[in-house]
Structure 1
Amino acid sequence: MSRICKDGFEREFIEEKKEMYGIAYTQNILSGRWKYLILWFLKTKEHRYSEIKAFLWDISQGSLTKQLRELETDGLIKREVFPEVPPRVEYSLTSKGEALIPIIDLMEEFGKKFGEKE
């Protein structure tokens, strides 16, 4: 692929590969081992960092923080800090993140149908 920076693709790539740009864009914002699972976990309600960490028990703190920051930067999740002592932080899906849920649900169905047969 022709990604030049965290902000997107080169204009030439977008214009020359219009038929596959949508797939490349979606793949790009979902790249990362844990992003699909984080979005799936947030699909029904907001969660705190510790809840996400407990759900993804095998992820390191650094990896989780990185994945959450990237999802936030790409506009898929929202991070809300509540002015309490100690501070409470909750993560939830944005409308852009919610738009990906049908794709993630299809991935879940596909995995259930074909995953255990191999």
Structure 2
Amino acid sequence: MLKLIKNARDVAVDQWKTLTLAEGETPHSVRLPAGPVLVPLSVWRARRAELLHSEYEHGWPLGVWLAEDEHPELIEGDLDDFTVVAIKPGALARDKSHEAARFLRERHSFKGELLAAA
């Protein structure tokens, strides 16, 4: 399970349901929870239409989290669909997560929340 961090402190856990894939689950088979959900990039790519339908039909916020080896360019065409983007920095890649956040803010004017996923 991911721990979401904003401004060096934990984010309220009751707002977002952070989806991770358990062993044996695939992006197509994992159960999507109701309510505000933060999904891994693989689930976003596999179930984009279903996630957008839930977001617009129910008004539930939608977010995506990127693993340390996933660059924000992979979602640059989808940024308007997300309330939150979380970036999971690797043990030695703290600079990469700052670079990714800068890429989203400065190059794409992303107005949503940026979080670190630990």
TM-score, length-scaled by structure 2? 0.26
- Ranked by relative contact order (alpha carbons within 8 Å, sequence separation 6 or more), the top structure is 2
Specify the structure having the higher radius of gyration (Cα): 1
Bigger helix share: 1
